[in-house]
Structure formats: C-alpha cells, structure tokens
Structure 1
C-alpha cells in the first residue's frame, strides 16, 4: 500500500484520506458506519472543520465512543480540523469546541480555514501565537493552513511558519499551481490536496487517482458521503491506477474543455448582495453536462437560477474571487444555458 508522508510533520498515512465535509448531510449512524468502514479499509487521515456543522461530532461519535479507536489506539489515526477564527477569543472557543465534539484529547493538524492573509508572529493579531500556545499545551500537534488563493498560499509557504498547506489540486491544476506544489515540496511542508475532483466537475475517479499518485508529497482528501464512493477509493489503496497513454489523452481533453474561466465552487464570492447562490449557479452549465442532471433541474434550482436576473453588477463577488473570474457575466451565461435546457433546446445526460 502506497503511503504519503506530510513533510516535516512526520505523519505517514496511506495515500487516500477521508474528507468529512459531506458527512454533515447524512444521519449520525450512517456517518459512523461510513467512518468506521473507512478506518477498517485502511484510511488513517480524516479531515474536518468547525465550519462543517456536525461533522466533528459525528467523527467523535464514530471513533471516540467506548472501544473506539480514540480510546484503544489514538496514535494510529490522524485528525485534521480547522478554524475560521479572526480573533484569539474565537480561536480558543473553536478549538475547545472541536476537541469536545471530536471527543479526543488533541488534534493532529489544526489549520486556519480559508486564509485571506498569512498570520505571522508579531503581526498584531495574536492569531499565530494562538497556534503556538495550543501546540505547547498539547492540544494540537501541528500547525496548518488552508486557502484557495494562490498568492496567499505562496506567502504561507515562503513564511516557513506552517507545517502543512491544504490547497485545491487536481489534474486541472494550472502551471502556477504546479509550481506551488514544487515550492511546498522544496520547503518540507506537507501538502494536503482538497478538491481532487474539482468540486464534482471531474467524474472519472480512475483518472483523478492516477494523476494524484504521481506526486509523492501530495495527500488527497476525497469528500465521501456514500458507501459506494468509499469502496471506490478503498479499491485504489492496493490497486492504484497508473497513468497510461489513454488516461493522459483523456486528461488532455478534459483540460481543454475545462480550461479558463470556470467556477471551482470554493464559495469565496459569497454571500451575494442580492442572494444569488453564486458558487453553484456559476457552474451550472458544467454540472448539467458532467453530473446527473435531474438534481439540478428541480423547482428549487430553477428558483435559484432565476435569482441571477436580480444581479445589480455591484461586483463585490469579483473582488473576492481568488481566480479573478468575471462572475456577473458568467452567471448570465449559465442562466442562458440553463433556460435552454429547460426549454428542451439542449439535451443533457
């Protein structure tokens, strides 16, 4: 079984990790069964966040009960969580809440969530000092960072202050993002890869896995909600897909189709001043072509898409977008495509 070491943290785990954002959408018992099966199948790294509603609580329920792995072999499982805190008091509240929900004594990798700036010692915020204090107290083992913004990611790497970086990484990565991977590797940081399926746009897991397996320092966290999804990733633990000429050609075609101005669904643009669900509506055309379509054609999503007509071009969203997308015009293009699908002028799978 191929393993990944997260840089200087020394954490070494099997090549696929469990992204626990989706388990907030399923009942507690179902989540517990899924998590336990993931552990039994070989997964050892589980990523969650305070912002993922009851995800931490479900992990604590699955692993922290009497006889659970937190009680019998905590050193054999690694938990990463995150805080959106902007003040030291918020940081302390989030950390204590996470430890209580997770039902464990410490968090292996504690990360600042969706960073807009690189917190540093002495910058006047006290935020990085919170991490140092938590580490000294044994409440966390390693200090991590997550962001969708390439410039912030580069600054995090160059600072030398963080032990891991979590950043979107898939076969749709740009050359600048590939350079970020190389800089992370050179720095000795661990690289935790989110959005390995580009927020649902990539629908061939074999290709996604073959791409990721080429990078020794990259640990992908796959968002998992269903047992069928879990079984697919577990099957790749021992039989990892290799990059073949056929897969290379497939990925080249994918990159041509998806290159350029497409929404990654990160949500940095939110909230919209007039209530548009930007991070979903702005990639509706792609989702209709690449994901089962009926889920996107319900009355709910028809109503959400119609809200695009309310756009006032305030462009607050464009100032927040890490990919510098022309969001208002992309929204209108998506609405036009959507209306054509509803009118039967365009067919989808």
Structure 2
C-alpha cells in the first residue's frame, strides 16, 4: 500500500482511509469490532464528524480506551458550526466523544465560504486559537463546490481539503489534486464510490492511487466491505489499460447531470426522498432491481407528483442540479420499467 504525506501537515499514512459516517448505522459493539479490525489490518486514518450522530463516540470506544497508542492513529473530524460559540461547543464535544486530548485534523464541514482571518465571522480565529491551545493539530476544510474548494487550496490557510473524488470526476475536479500538490495541501477524497453508483472497488482504488498527496476515505459499515479494502493493503490495484477502459465506459454511461445521493437537499418540503428517487434509474442499473421496485419504493416515487417546485432543494445542492426536472425524468423512466417497457440491466 502506497504511503501518502498529506501536504504540509507532514502526516504520513497508508493510502486507504476509513470513512466513519456509515458506522452510525450499526451497534457500538459492531462498530468497535470493525474499527479495530481496520487498525489491525493497517489502516491509520479515520475520518468522522459531529454531524454523524454517534460516530465519534464509537471511534472513542474503539481507540480511546487503550487499544492503541494515540499517536499511532490519525483522527480527522468536522464542525458544521457557523458561530464561535458553537465552534467551541462542537470541539469540546468531539474531544469528549473521541476520548482524546487533541484532534489531528479539524475541518469546517461542507463550507459554503472560505473563512479567513478578519472576515468578521471569527471562525478562522477559532481554529487558530484551538491550535494554540493544542486541542487541534491542523486546520482544514471540506467542500462540495468546486469554487470553494479551489479557494481553500489557494488561500494558504488550510492544510488539508476534503472534496468528493471518484473516477467519475470531471477534468476540472481532478485538477484540484494537482492544485493541492502545487500548494502543499493534503487532499482527502470523500465519496470515492459516488454514493453507491460505483460498485467496482478495484477500479476505484486504482484510480485514486495514481495521485500523490491524496488519501481516500472509504465509507465502511460492514465487515465484508472492510475486508475488500484491507485486501488492497498488500495488493494495491494498478491503473492499467483494462481498468482505464472500464472507467472510460463507466464515465460514458454516467455522462451528464446525475445525483450523487449526498442528501444535502433534504428534507423535502413535501416529503420526497430526493436523494434516492433522483437517482433511481441509475440504482436500478447497478443494484438488484427487486428491492427498488417494491411497493414501498413505488409509493415513494409517486410522491414526485407532489413536487411544488419550491426550489428549496436546489439552493442546497452542491452540484447545482435542476432537481425537479431530474425527479420527473426518473419517475417517467421508473414507470416504463414497471410497465415492462424498458430494461435496466
């Protein structure tokens, strides 16, 4: 497994990070077992957030109780705070949950702007003070919008940047990796499986392994998923001509606007499950159809007819999708599949 240095942080870890969002869906006991197995298998980078319900608590139970020496792992977490008071509350809660004296990489979560010293918000000053106090080691941010990510990288203020990065990325998004290296900024790649649209982990691993300074964090919920990623610790897939062709075919199939399923558009004002309904046809192609064609999902898809086009979802979509139009198109295609007039496999 390739070892990666995250920019000017100097942090060196194997290029296989653990994304701890999904462990909020399993019991504490199961999460602890999976996290410790990840460590025993060679993973050293663990990413979580205050917004991930009890994910931090589970990390604390796994590693804050003497199972490992603190300096043997790298913990990154996030605050979605918008005020200094909330910043300090989040930081203190995270330290308590994680059972640690410090956080290696502290990130502003899903930034809509690049906080800077003297901008009037006081947010960047909070990061600086937390670093002075030794509660955090490195100042960082996460973004879903290309322009914000680019500003973070070029500002000289952030030591790592987290941004969605999969083999479905556009050329402009891939340029962010080069920009990070030019500015000595570490790159943390989230959503490496594009919200479940990518099912070939070998291709996903081979793609990101081409780039220096990048650590992908794979969302892991099941032991079987962990085993797949651990298998690449000693036998990392290479980006060869076969994988390159496979990825080219995938990008061709998924060209144009499509929903990544991030869920930031939620909740819908009329109760539509936007993050699932808006990519239904893609999921039907890439997963067992029966589950998505159940009575439950038929009823959920019918809710698209209730859309009032209020536009609220579009104001939150980091990819600036025309959500009402895509929803109607998915409903139309879905009905064609139900009627037997269209094949999806």
> Normalization by structure 2: what TM-score?
0.96
Task: Report the equivalent of 1:249.
Answer: 245
Distance (Å, rounded) in 1 between the aligned partners of 2:298 and 2:53: 26
Query: 1:63: which partner in 2?
Result: 63
Identify which of 128, 131, 137 aligns with 1:132: 128
Q: How does 1:200-349 map to 2 (within 5 A)?
A: 200-348=196-344
How far is 1:347 from its partner?
A: 4.3
Pair 1:229–1:120, CA change in 2 (3 A): same
User: Conserved in 2, the CA contact under 8 Å of 1:47 and 1:221?
Assistant: yes
Give distance in 2, aligned partners of 1:292 and 1:81. Answer: 34
> Which residue in 1 is equivalent to 2:178?
182
Q: Which residue of 2 aligns with 1:44?
A: 44
SS of the residue corresponding to residue 187 of structure 2 reads strand
SS of equivalent to 2:233: helix
Distance 1:345 1:299 in 2: 19
Structure 2: tracts of 5 or more residues without a match: none
Q: Is the 8 A contact 1:2 1:238 kept in 2?
A: no
Quick one: structure 1 residues 332 and 209, their matched pair in 2 at CA, closer, same or farther if it must change by over 3 Å?
same
User: For 1:224 and 1:293, how far apart are their aligned partners in 2?
Assistant: 23
Once residues 101 and 33 of structure 1 are traced to their aligned partners in structure 2, the CA distance between those partners, rounded to angstroms, is: 17
Q: Which moved more, 1:52-61 or 1:317-326?
A: 317-326
Moved more, 317-326 or 92-101: 317-326
2:73 aligned residue? 77
Gaps of 5+ in 1: none
> Partner residue of 1:88?
84
Q: 178, 187, 191: which is aligned to 1:191?
A: 187
Shift of 1:105: 1.1
In the TM superposition, structure 1's runs of 4+ consecutive aligned residues that sit over 6 Å from their partners are none
CA offsets, 1:260-318, max 9 Å, x none? 11111223323322222212211111011112333333443333222111111222322
Q: Which of 151, 155, 167 matches 2:163?
A: 167
The aligned counterpart of 1:7 is: 7
**Aligned twin of 2:97:** 101
| 1:200–1:291 CA contact under 8 A, matched in 2 | no
Task: Note the alpha carbon deviations across 1:148-175, whole angstroms, 9 max, x for none.
Answer: 0011111111211100000001111111
CA distance in 1, matches of 2:292, 2:26: 20
What is the count of residue pairs matched by the alignment? 345
Native 8 Å contact 2:281 2:344 kept in 1: no
Deviations 1:234-282 (A, max 9, x none): 1111111111211111111001011111111223323322222212211
Q: Distance in 2 between matches of 1:273 and 1:293?
A: 28
1:348 Cα deviation from its structure 2 partner: 4.7
